[in-house]
Amino acid sequence: MSNEMAATTRYSQAGDEFLFVELNEEMTLEAFFLSISITQKLRDLALPGIIEICPANASYQVRYNPDVISASQLQNKLEALEQEVDSQQVRTLETRVIEVPVLYRDPWTHETLMRFRDHHQDPSATDLEYAARINGYDTVDSFIEAHSATPWFVSMVGFVAGLPFMYQMVPRERQIQVPKYLRPRTDTPKQTVGIGGCFSVIYSVRGAGGYQMFGVTPMPIYDPANEHPHIDSSMIYFRPGDIVKYRAVEREEYDALLAVAEKGQFKPKISPFTFDLDAFNQDPDGYARRVKEALYEH
Amino acid sequence: MSIEIIKPGLASSIQDKGREGHYHLGIPPSGGMDQRSLIAANLLVGNPEGAAVIECALMGPELRFDTTRKVAACGAEMTPRVNGEAQPLNEVFEVPAGSTLGFDFVKAGARLYLAIEGGIDVPERLGSRSTYALGSLGGMQGRTLQAGDTLALFQAHGQAVSGRHLPPSLVPEFSRQYQLRVMPGLYAHRLRAESETRFYSEDWVVASEADRIGYRMKGGTPLSFIEREPPFGAGDDPSNIVDACYPIGSIQVPSGSEPIILHRDAVSGGGYAMIGTVISADMDTVGQIQPHQKVRFVQVTLEEALAARAHYQKVLKQLRQMP
């Protein structure tokens, strides 16, 4: 499918307090880059009457007070901001690279996925076996390698508090894609790492979910009780625009990291990074190496 | 200066006017689902209009007061009783130290707001005392009330006067069937035209899954989407979209079958097409609809939504100016 098909921005008034903006019907890195850039500029303007500014994968939404700024005034402003971003010569984003350790094939998501086998497309396989097979990987190990070798872009934070949606930074033909469960589960362990559609997520709280489950991370990402110093007063660790690099760990290291996290001493491996959209588009594989270098040779 | 929860009721939680500015990180506004009744109860007892109150859904709690306090109950019709003796709704009454406050079964409406002189003293989290249970945030340890909880109260300010009541013109009227005004939009263009028309011409019934996150509706004809090749990243079901933000009040239709109206504890985003948004002036009404009651959705324009908003604000102004 071509990008021309849905490349026109669509504005929709959602009730009298929300303006919803779809940048592309499809998920593309360009649409996400536009979403994060426009919403950042809008935040910087600090316009009166703007209440919530929410970037998403290929869209964004603004909550406003129509008694202060009208829907048409707001839309005019957003159109101008989009033009401004479009006309930029350099398309870069100041962000950070974060390592997320993952225990794949862990006992907790395994127990959960077995409990909900009747909600799944393939009750005879685990979520990992199913995902590996339909994405053309011979073994679960090679699938885990594909999931953890490439960087992922945090393209949206939400659903529930602090849950990151991540978009894989590889050419589209190599992106991992899996359907969601046929019917959602009523349970998902906290800090489960999974995939639905083309998005990888980390469940921030225990609860309902429909994404395929691959493992768990010991890294706390939501902190309502203020127990984890690596998370600031917003209580939420991830921000749209963060770049995540998963690292597979064994059970022993997982247990050690979890013990550190439970003492409120978890320190994520993190490095500042300037993302350059055009450099990425020219050489995605080389760019993945640069992201890794930023993390491990910084 | 506290109250003890003897029985928690069905889903009682501490709420105020809610928190703003965190929806982009997945934290919804929360706060009383019927803001007008929450504000009315607070103003009656002389509290700031956004003081923390107890929101009582369908079945009220039983509370023991260790201190004498004036209180007011607004919203759903559940007769309050002090040591078994009936008390008025929408009017200030006193609960003496050592006595028990309970509620009868709900007669109309779905949520009652109990304001206590001084207000409930729980810590502010991200600028609000409201409970967001899905995220274990705010209120009483981030959850609904449980038997054995003790709620601390702020000092009484001495401005509450027994017998002060809402003027009859400001007492809300409840029904068994409701009209909710909706601005069509978002992904409504993905619906077949006849399906969208039918959505607005049929009765829908509130399902038992009706809570602070959202209200699920059933009983209408399933919605039908226009066939398409799924956009990359959206998912194969015709009701799927590339995961996006969900406006408060937006109506989504997973698989086209049962529409869900998101409310103040909304999930902030996801991958289901939304077909319109309930206007802000009708969101309090949603919070007062009981499961099994009937709803009709009525299409309105932005101009009509803004007129309804102005009317709603006029009612709030009258509450603030009441004698």
What was the ipTM of the complex prediction? 0.97
pTM of the model as a whole: 0.95
B279 in Cβ contact with B305 (< 8 Å): yes
List pLDDT tens digits, range B18-69. Answer: 999 999 999 999 999 999 999 999 999 999 999 999 999 999 999 999 999 9
Mutation pick from A17, A155, A232 vs chain B, by most beta carbons of B within 10 Å, is A17
pLDDT of residue A90: 81
A213 in Cβ contact with A112 (< 8 Å): yes
Are both B139 and B203 inside the same structural domain? no
Residue among B25, B186, B233 minimizing CB distance to A161 = B25
Which residue, B266, B291, B296, is CA-closest to B207?
A: B291
Question: Do A16 and B305 make contact, defined as CB atoms within 8 angstroms?
Answer: yes
Q: How far is B84 from chain A (nearest CA, A)?
A: 39
Task: Phi first, then psi: give them for residue A214, nearest 5 degrees.
Answer: -115, -25
Two tokens at A150?
Answer: 């490439």
Question: Do B186 and A12 make contact, defined as CB atoms within 8 angstroms?
Answer: yes
Are both B124 and B47 inside the same structural domain? yes
CA A145, A147, A149: angle at the middle one, nearest 5?
60
Mutation pick from A19, A60, A156 vs chain B, by most beta carbons of B within 10 Å, is A156
Mutation pick from B122, B190, B232, B251 vs chain A, by most beta carbons of A within 10 Å, is B232
Q: Which helix (H) or strand (E) holds A11?
A: strand A10-14
CATH of the domain at B310: 2.40.100.10
**pLDDT < 50 regions, chain A:** 1-6
Which residue, B25, B47, B184, B297, is CA-closest to A56?
A: B25
Report CA Rg, chain B.
Answer: 20
Question: Nearest residue on chain B to A59, judged by CA atoms?
Answer: B244
Are both B212 and B262 inside the same structural domain? yes
Two tokens at A181?
Answer: 């469960």
The gap from C-alpha A217 to its chain's centroid, in whole angstroms, comes to 15
- Which amino acid does the sequence have at A127? D
- Neighbouring CB atoms inside 10 A of B203's CB total 12
CA distance B110 to B205: 15
**Residues forming beta bridges with residue A94, ordered by sequence position:** A274
Q: Does B137 touch chain A (CB under 8 A)?
A: yes
Are both B212 and B245 inside the same structural domain? yes
Residue among A14, A20, A54 minimizing CB distance to B23 = A54
Q: Count structural domains, chain B.
A: 2
CA distance B299 to B237: 26
Question: Do A158 and B231 make contact, defined as CB atoms within 8 angstroms?
Answer: no
Percent of chain A with pLDDT over 70: 97
Q: How many CB pairs under 8 A join A and B?
A: 188
CA distance B46 to B137: 27
CA distance A289 to B134: 38
Residues of A in contact with B268 (CB under 8 A): 54, 158-160
Question: Do A162 and B250 make contact, defined as CB atoms within 8 angstroms?
Answer: no
Q: Does B132 touch chain A (CB under 8 A)?
A: yes
Q: Which helix (H) or strand (E) holds B250?
A: strand B250-252
Cα-based torsion angle of the residue sequence A236, A241, A245, A246 in order, rounded to the nearest 10 degrees = 40
Are both B160 and B74 inside the same structural domain? yes
Domain boundary residue, one of B104, B138, B170: B170
Are both B217 and B156 inside the same structural domain? no
CA distance A275 to A8: 25
Task: Please report, in tens digits, the pLDDT of each residue of chain B (323 residues total).
Answer: 999 999 999 999 999 999 999 999 999 999 999 999 999 999 999 999 999 999 999 999 999 999 999 999 999 999 999 999 999 999 999 999 999 999 999 999 999 999 999 999 999 999 999 999 999 999 999 999 999 999 999 999 999 999 999 999 999 999 999 999 999 999 999 999 999 999 999 999 999 989 999 999 999 999 999 999 999 998 888 999 999 999 999 999 988 889 999 999 999 999 999 999 999 999 999 999 999 999 999 999 999 999 999 999 999 999 999 98
Are both B208 and B113 inside the same structural domain? no
Are both B141 and B189 inside the same structural domain? no
Q: How far is B306 from chain A (nearest CA, A)?
A: 7
pLDDT of residue A2: 37
Residue among A12, A26, A160 minimizing CB distance to B231 = A26
CA distance B74 to A20: 34
**Hey, which residues 15-54 in chain B have their CB within 8 Å of chain A?**
20-27
Domain boundary residue, one of B149, B170, B191: B170
- Which amino acid does the sequence have at A18? F
pLDDT of residue A166: 97
Q: How far is A19 from chain B (nearest CA, A)?
A: 9
Are both B152 and B37 inside the same structural domain? yes
Angle formed by the axes of helices B302-320 and B35-44, to 10°?
10
Residues of B in contact with A240 (CB under 8 A): 24
CA end-to-end span of chain A = 39
Q: Mean pLDDT in chain A?
A: 94
Q: How far is A215 from chain B (nearest CA, A)?
A: 21
Are both B123 and B217 inside the same structural domain? no
List pLDDT tens digits, range A215-246. Answer: 999 999 999 999 999 999 999 999 999 999 99
Task: Phi first, then psi: give them for residue B310, nearest 5 degrees.
Answer: -65, -40
Which residue, A217, A230, A222, is CA-closest to A266?
A: A230
Question: Nearest residue on chain A to B306, judged by CA atoms?
Answer: A16
Domain boundary residue, one of B170, B195, B225: B170
**Hey, which residues 299-318 in chain B have their CB within 8 Å of chain A?**
302, 305-306, 309, 313
CA end-to-end span of chain B = 28
Question: Do A26 and B233 make contact, defined as CB atoms within 8 angstroms?
Answer: yes
Domain hosting B264: range is 177-319
pLDDT of residue A1: 35
Are both B6 and B142 inside the same structural domain? yes
Are both B315 and B207 inside the same structural domain? yes
